[in-house]
Amino acid sequence: MKGYGQFCPVAKTAEIFAQRWTPLIVRELCFGPKRFSEVHSGMPTMSRALLVQRLTELEDAGVVATEPLAQGKLYRLTRAGEAFRDIIVMMSAWGQRYGQGRLGPADMDPTMLVWSMKRQIDPRDLPDREIVLRLEFRGVPKAHATRRYWWIVLRADDVEVCFKAPDGKEVQVVIAAELEAFIRVWMGYEGYADAVAQGAVSMTGEASSIRTLKHVLKVADAPYERPIVFAPFDAAA
């Protein structure tokens, strides 16, 4: 980490937090302790070597702690790292209010969308019966063409994401959508009702399952500011 040569606490905070990728690493760990591969899944375009470097820097700064596992390590935020949570929440709110127009073709990544959907599901909202959702995206960039189709299995105690149709599972709901349109609906930038009216998004299947999924995924008919949902901090960890 490069210093600013200032004793100002803003400068000292920036020396740790204002490094490229660091806020996203902290964001990932706000969802709970993770293995290296799980942290990297939230930032697939970041090189693994740079992620190792950033995690080491954050550990040296007392922001991240590690726990040895049988294979690899488990990374978690310390109390000092957890104190960055409010900054991440404010960055999310700012981006929703003022950054909507910055979405571009390079941001249209279906893998990141599905990953975001999985981790933003509140376990308390999961249905008491299994629901299988199939996602079919149109307008997917060529770089992600093999990731047009996804399956999400929601159970009372788990959310499973599949690249292929899960064996022996019946699909209750199908979401077919233009990728960018669904990203905007998922983020709350655009209302679901308007996207449906424009033919950009459709949700078909069992009526009761559709109602449950709209609640679980927080898909709203009108635009709204989606709150970011993190795991609670375990001070005893």
| Tens digit of pLDDT at every position of the chain (237 positions) | 578 899 899 999 999 999 999 999 999 999 999 999 999 988 888 999 999 999 999 999 999 999 999 988 999 999 999 999 999 999 999 999 998 888 898 899 999 999 899 988 988 899 999 999 999 999 999 989 999 999 999 999 989 999 899 999 999 999 999 999 999 999 999 999 999 999 999 999 999 999 999 999 999 999 999 888 887 776 554
Specify the pTM: 0.86
Give the ranges where 22-103 is alpha helix by DSSP (H).
Answer: 22-30, 36-41, 48-60, 79-82, 85-98
Give the neighbor-by-neighbor strand order of the sheet with 149-155.
158-162, 149-155, 131-138, 173-178, 201-205
CB atoms within 10 A of CB 134: 20
- Check residue 55 and give its pLDDT: 97
CB 166 within 8 A of CB 178: no
Residue 122 corresponds to which tokens in the numbers above?
Answer: 């509140």
CB 157 within 8 A of CB 126: yes
Give the ranges where 102-158 is alpha helix by DSSP (H).
Answer: 110-119
Which domains are seen in the chain, by residue range? 9-98 (1.10.10.10), 103-217 (3.30.1050.10)
Place of tokens 């991440």: 88
